[in-house]
Amino acid sequence: MTKILLVEDNEMNRDMLTRRLSRHGFEVCCAPDGPSGVRMSEEEMPSVILMDVALGAMDGWEATTLIKARPSTAHIPVIALTAHALASDRKRSVEVGCADFDTKPVDLPRLLSKINACLQAPAA
Amino acid sequence: MARVQEESSALDRFIDWFIPPELAAQREKRQLARMFLISHLCGPLLGNVVPGAVWFLEGRPTFPMAILAASITAFWVFPFLLKWFGRYNLLCFVSVQNLMFCILWSCYFYGGVTSPTLPWVLTIPLLTFFYIGPSPKLRIMALCQFACNFSIFFLLYRLIPAPPPPISSEVVGLQVLGIVSTLACAGYVTMMALYYRRILDSGAELEAEMRGHLATAAELRRATAEAGRAGAAKAEFVASMSHELRTPLNAVIGYSQMLLEDAEDEQDDQSVADLQKIHKAGKHLLRLVNEVLDLSKIEAGKMELVREETPVAEFLASVVEEQRAEAEAKGIGLRFQPSGDLGNAKWDADRVRQALSGMLDNAVKFTDQGHVILSAERTPGKAPTLVIRITDTGVGIDPQMLPHLFEKFTVAHDTTASKYGDTGLGLALSLALCKLMGGDISVQSTVGEGSCFTVTLPAAPAGARRKARETAPAAPARKRAAA
């Protein structure tokens, strides 16, 4: 079963996405903040990481930078999730090494297609 | 607040007529010149009372009396000299010299050190120091002038004895002359004192007014700073508020979406219909929250634009495609019609898309049959502009509503609102965004035939490195629509 790590600080968003992704056959593990997201990326070795960018003390971009800097987890594709579809956010995501970018609230079919694209692409 | 009554009497206007512009320009100098002029214009009237009395007492004009009258009357020349030649300080000294001559002359011929015209001596320092103002150098020069004159007078008085006054009855005549002379002198000094008082008053009023203005200016600065702070605080509040609103809204939208998926799986049609309404309302509310946030950002000058080279034709085609599903569902045509090569534009594509989508979405929403066309052309020239037209064959807009179309929360008609849903902040935001990017929007519409929104956007920002915030409009313009 494909494992997804969801890094998201809002409990309801975490619950919703977990349930919806589970229903589509993914195994979902969750991290409520940046540091635990970085830690779990190594412990759980997920196939894809969904990273909320607005996370409080350590934001999603910082966490992604740390994940990408660690050789053992550098290959895991990260999809950034933000509230705004801003070019600046998208640019930032690319800069820190995100494979893709999506906006919240999540449009599930669109997110699924992005996840599948990441899974099919050769490891980055 | 102090309010000065502009009391410009005929006398003031008459006096000011003689003041040359270079003196009139400085308040201090202008006051001195006014003192100088009032004494020169009125002085000869009162001064000539003395030679008049002498003539009356002697019964015939005499040489000393004629010289006295002539030199007193000569004071009338000074205002004209001042007007034509300026040279105020020089004229002051010449005038003081003439004054001393008149007084000492009459003292010499009519009674010497016991002369009845002696009170006039008091006017010499009085007038001199009125005229020359506060300059220490001029004051010392004036004192030297006094010293010289009085020295010469006493010298002459000692060396050449004055002829006996030709006044007929010596004692009585000199007494009458003394009374007349003292009264005239008192009248003259009174006049000068009154006029001086008046100038002081007007100065005090001016100062009070100036203090009032300064206080108002300080008050204004304080109020402006406060308004600025309040505006920033408001923008901050709206921004954080929008963020706080978005989180629970995401839950509403997300969970309703989940329940909707469940209901669809279970083919529970009633629940599907209800959940769709919740989901749709949630999304509508989210859109409004985002629009409020964007508008408040623009109004606070905090909307930053990320400009990148954008292939215009490709970009516009993608904007049109976003409405494809909706247009097909309604069975209306949707076309993109570029004319000529549209080239590239340095745009913040997301913001242009946001501005155009709002209008395109409306066009599709308000058109039940026919088509919606987005056409575009590039105007040539040094500062190329892209003219984008969104034309529909929809319900059209009431001419009365056209001017208010871009205001916040305006709906063309209550009935249209209930039929099509309100447009909310969409158009206000579209206009604010276009203005932020240096462009504009105009609209033409005929009820029952359709509407045409024309968007003009410069292909590149006006100033090469100008920041977006500098062009941020305070608020969407009110009267925008073409009649």
Among A12, A53, A82, pick the best mutation site for testing chain B contact (most B Cβ within 10 A). Answer: A12
> Mean pLDDT, to the nearest integer, of A6-17?
89
For residue B454, the Cα-to-chain-centroid distance in whole angstroms is 35
Q: Which residues of B touch A16 (CB under 8 A)?
A: 251, 254-255, 258
Q: For chain A, list residues whose CB is within 8 angstroms of any CB belonging to chain B.
A: 10, 12-13, 16-17, 19-20, 23, 83-88, 91, 104-106, 108
Same domain, B148 and B44: yes
Q: Which of B202, B220, B238 is the last residue of a domain?
A: B220
Whether residue B464 has pLDDT greater than 50? no
> Distance of CA A47 to CAs A63, A103, B428, Å?
17, 20, 44
* Number of domains chain B is built from: 2
Q: CATH code for A3-120?
A: 3.40.50.2300
Q: Is residue B5 part of a domain?
A: no
Instruction: Give the chain B residue whose CA is nearest to the CA of A13.
Output: B251
- Residue B192 CB neighbour total at 10 angstroms: 19
The band of A85, judged by pLDDT with boundaries at 50, 70 and 90, is low
Whether residue A76 has pLDDT greater than 90? yes
The neighbouring-strand residues paired with B388 are B376, B455
Strand pairing class (A78-82; A48-52): parallel
pLDDT in the model for residue B272: 92
Contact between residue B381 and residue B456 where contact means Cβ atoms under 8 Å apart = no
Distance to chain B for A96, nearest Cα, Å: 18
Strand residues in A1-124 grouped as ranges (E): 3-7, 27-31, 48-52, 78-82, 100-103
Rounded Cα distance between A5 and A78, Å, is 9
Instruction: Give the chain B residue whose CA is nearest to the CA of A106.
Output: B254
Q: Is residue B260 part of a domain?
A: no
Rounded Cα distance between A74 and A45, Å, is 11
Rounded Cα distance between B483 and B470, Å, is 30
Q: Is residue B248 part of a domain?
A: no
The neighbouring-strand residues paired with B337 are B375
At what angle are helices A60-69 and A87-96 packed, to 10 degrees?
20
Contact between residue B5 and residue B209 where contact means Cβ atoms under 8 Å apart = no
Mean pLDDT of chain B: 82
Q: Do B255 and A12 touch (CB under 8 A)?
A: yes
The band of A86, judged by pLDDT with boundaries at 50, 70 and 90, is low
Q: Is residue B250 part of a domain?
A: no
In this prediction the ipTM stands at 0.78
Q: Is residue B403 part of a domain?
A: yes
Same domain, B104 and B203: yes
Same domain, B205 and B315: no
Q: Which of B220, B238, B255 is the last residue of a domain?
A: B220
Whether residue A107 has pLDDT greater than 70? yes
Same domain, B312 and B439: yes
- Domain of B114 in residue numbering reads as 10-220
The neighbouring-strand residues paired with A100 are A79
Among B241, B242, B247, pick the best mutation site for testing chain A contact (most A Cβ within 10 A). Answer: B247
pLDDT in the model for residue B275: 92
Whether residue B421 has pLDDT greater than 80? no
Q: Which residues of A touch B304 (CB under 8 A)?
A: 88
Distance to chain A for B442, nearest Cα, Å: 26
List the alpha helices (DSSP H) in A1-124.
Answer: 11-23, 34-44, 60-69, 87-96, 108-120
pLDDT in the model for residue B465: 39
> Mean pLDDT, to the nearest integer, of B402-424?
59
Say which residue the tokens 């501005």 belong to.
Answer: B355
Rounded Cα distance between B189 and B120, Å, is 9
Q: Which of B186, B220, B254 is the last residue of a domain?
A: B220
